[in-house]
Structure formats: structure tokens, C-alpha cells
Structure 1
Amino acid sequence: MGKSLVALLCDIAAPVGGYYLLRAFDVAPIWALTFSGLPPALRVLYLALRHRRVDGMGLFVLFIVGIGLVTSLLTGDARLQLVRSAWFSILIGVWMLASLWIGRRPTTYQATLALVPHRAEALEARWADTPSFRRVWRVLTVVWGVGGLVHSGLSVALAYTFPVDSVPGLDTVLSIASFVVLQVVTQVLLAREGTMNRMWARR
């Protein structure tokens, strides 16, 4: 619980709060966006030093922050800085949808295997012998892939429609709402399929 709270503060609260704090001191929007994006990167670096490794998501966070810094230095365009993560989210959405045809397993299923490695053998057994189990993960991959693309499109629209100072807060609300909706859909579909519930009930 403590680790989740720290992650929430660093990845969501600090960037948004930091942006509006810096703007209160008349820091230009482009630099307020750049500096307020540092807390997630600092958390990744701290964990990397502590555990002597960086996972894929950590590298993605560092990459986004690095792109934001380069964008600030080269263009000075605050709106382009606002949509930096949306473009990469589009790539992830396309990648998720492509995993339905490329590779052995859909992305959502692969992510679940990585999160619960102690259940990997049981999950793989269900994948091999339960058609409905395979089908639900393919559907979830479509849901998350399309959901990510829609969210990215809305983020870009926000960035180029609303005043710059309104966008960080609005985009955070949009991101949280999108994540909650996708999680609810995920849990409903998994519960209807039933395999995951039976597996966890036997733990």
C-alpha cells in the first residue's frame, strides 16, 4: 500500500501539482511542464539505483521525460510538450492491437503473466485448453488498444483546444477516468469468463 501511494504521488500528484505551483511563481508553461515531469523520472532512477535494474516501464518513463526535455530545448512549444506522451500512447495502442496477429500471445495476457509469474504455469495451461480464456484476453487486448487510442486522441484534442494552463489538470482527470473505465471493463469480462475467479479461489 505504501509503495502504491508513493508511486501515485510521484507519477500523478507531483507532476500536476508541480506544474501549477511553478506557474504560480510565473515560470513559463514550457519549463513548468518540463520540470514538473521530473518526479516520475527521479523515482525510476531511485528504484534503478536501489535494485540495480530498470524495467521496461521505467525505461519508457525516462524516454518520455527525455523527449520532453529535448522538445523544450528545441521548440519552446508548450502544446507540443503537452502531447508528448499521447504520441507514444498511440504507438502502444497500435502495438497492442498488432499483438493479436504478431507474436504468440496478446499483450494484455503477456502483461498479466509478468505481474503474476507464480501463476504462469496455471495460466498457460488454461490458455492451452480453454477457448473462452483465449478469447477473453484477445477481447481485452482490443479494449485496451482501442481505449488507449481514443484516450490519446482526446488528449491531443485537449492540448490544442483548451488554454495551456487548463490542460494538465484536465488531462490527468481524463487519464484517471480512462484507466478506471478500462479496469472495470476488464474485471467484468474476466468475471463473466470465470476462469480467473476459479484459479484465485483455489489459492
Structure 2
Amino acid sequence: MTRALVRGLAWDVGAPLATYYVLHLAGATDWVALLAATGAAGCRLLWTAFKRHSLNPFAMLMVIVFGLGLGLSFLTGDPRFLLLKDSAITGGMGISFLVFAALGHPLTLDAAKTWRPERARELDRDFHSNPAAHRWHLKVSAVWGAGLIAEASTRAVLVYLLPIDVMVGVSAALAVIVFAALIAWTVWDRKRRQASSSS
């Protein structure tokens, strides 16, 4: 299940983010990078819809978040605003993690189900019938939400403390470090939970 969750999150979150930042660092305009990221999220949404014959709420969220970022890119040419828009994207993702968890439908469950569609019903059943699995998904979703909001807040502060040319690289590095740290923590916590339950 851990692999399914991590792979699902990597595809749903990582693919659009990687597309955006790779193009951004390669010199593409913000509009082109956001358009490509929105397209990557859209392709993920279509692929999971084709495999599961239903819409993936998580992939749909990524389309909306990057689509909004694309719309915001037309509002102003201020480079600091464009960097703050990155915070709006990750911050919006973080808030979504927390809101969906509060509603009892953690996005981590959707991420796991999209990578293992053949086990979707089993994962659903385990989440609703196993209190430990239920609590774990809610905890992981809360940690991802808090981590992404912290990343967004840190970037928003640094945007006004660092020169723009430095901040572009820092912004990309920040996203990669936080995303990698959240994945590593998720894998570690899952293994810790499995070890404690088997002992």
C-alpha cells in the first residue's frame, strides 16, 4: 500500500510540479510552464478516468490548481507576484489536503487508489472498516497539508528577502526538498506502523 500511495502522490502531485519547475528553470515563460503543468495534470486525470471509469478527485484538483495559476499569470508581469503564485499553488494544495481530511475523505486514499485501481475497493473497505488505517490516512493527509502550507509560507517570505534571480532557483529547490521529505516521511511512518502492528 505504501508504494501505491507514494507512486500515486508522485504522479498526481510530482508530475505537474516537475513539469512546471523543469520548464521554468530551462527558461520557458511562466505561461508556457503553467500550461504544460496543467496539461500534465489533465493527462493524469484522463488516464485515471480511463482506467477506473471514474474521475480522480486528486488529479482533478491538480488541474484546477494549475489552471488557476495559469489564469493568474495574466494578471500582472511583476516577477515577485509570479513567484508568490507558486506559493498560491502549493498552499492551495496544502489547504485541500487539510479540508478533504477534515471532511473524512483524505486525498492520500485517492492517490493510493489511482495507482492500484484493482485494489480500489479493498483500500476503500480497509479505510472505512479499519480504525488504524483510517487514522493513518487522516494523519498523513494532515502532515502533507501542513508541509505544503509551510513550504508556501516560507517561499512567500523569501520572495521579499532574496533577489529575484536567486529566488527562482530557491523556489524550485524548496518544492523538490519539501516534496522529497514528505515522501520519505510517508514511507518511514508506514513502515513504523507496520512494525508496531506486527510486534
TM-score by length of 1: 0.70
Residue 81 of structure 1 and its aligned partner are, at CA, apart by 1.2
> Does the 8 Å CA contact 1:44/1:58 hold for their aligned counterparts?
yes
Which gives a bigger RCO, structure 1 or 2 (Cα 8 Å, sep 6+)?
A: 2
Cα separation, 2, equivalents of 1:151 and 1:140: 16
The aligned counterpart of 2:125 is 125
Query: Equivalent residue of 2:24, what SS?
Result: helix
Cα distance in 2, alignment partners of residues 100 and 82 from structure 1: 28
Summarize deviations over 1:81-133 as a string: whole Å, max 9, x none.
1111212322332232122332x422222332233221112212322332211
Q: Percent identity?
A: 20
Which residue is 1:17 aligned to?
A: 26
Which residue is equivalent to 1:151?
A: 151
CA distance in 2, matches of 1:7, 1:67: 17
Instruction: List aligned pairs for 1:74-153, cutoff 5 A.
Output: 76-102=77-103, 104-153=104-153
Query: Unmatched 5+ residue regions in structure 1?
Result: 20-31, 199-203
TM-score between the two structures when normalised by the length of structure 2: 0.71
CA contact (8 A) 1:83 1:156 kept: yes
Question: Could you tell me how far apart the structure 1 residues matched to 2:40 and 2:125 are?
Answer: 37
Provide the C-alpha distance between the structure 2 equivalents of 1:39 and 1:81, rounded to a whole number of angstroms.
Answer: 16
Offset, 1:13? 1.7
**Is contact 2:19–2:33 with CA below 8 Å preserved after alignment?**
no
Following superposition, the deviation at residue 189 of structure 1 comes to 1.4
After superposition, the C-alpha distances for 1:6-45 in whole angstroms (9 at most, x for unaligned) are: 97874332211215xxxxxxxxxxxx54455454356567
1:67 matches 2:76:
no
Change (3 A) 1:64 1:106: same
Alignment of 1:171-182 (within 5 A): 171-182=171-182
Distance in 1 between residues matched to 2:156 and 2:121, nearest whole Å: 41
Residue 149 of structure 1: CA displacement?
Answer: 0.7
Call closer, same or farther: CA 1:34–1:160 in 2, change over 3 Å. Answer: farther
Whole-angstrom distance in 1 between the partners of 2:93 and 2:17: 21
Letter in 2 for 1:11: Y
Equivalent pairs, count: 173
Query: Could you say what the CA RMSD is over the residues aligned between the two structures, in angstroms?
Result: 3.2
> Secondary structure of 2:148's match?
helix
Output the CA distance in 1 between the equivalents of 2:132 and 2:18: 38
Q: Structure 2 unaligned runs (5+)? A: 1-10
Conserved 8 A contact 2:140-2:186: yes
Give the Cα separation in 2 of the matches to 1:92 and 1:43: 16
Kept after mapping to 2: 8 A contact 1:44/1:62 = no
| Compared CA separation, residues 18 and 147, structure 1 to 2 (3 A) | same
CA 1:97–1:190 in 2, change beyond 3 Å: closer, same or farther?
Answer: same
Describe the shift of the 1:121–1:36 C-alpha distance in structure 2 as closer, same or farther (beyond 3 A). Answer: closer
Which deviates more from structure 2 when the two are superposed, residues 143-152 or residues 120-129? Answer: 120-129
Give structure 1 regions of 4+ aligned residues with deviation exceeding 6 angstroms.
6-9
Rounded Cα–Cα distance in structure 1 between residues aligned with 2:36 and 2:168? 15
Residue matched to 2:163: 163
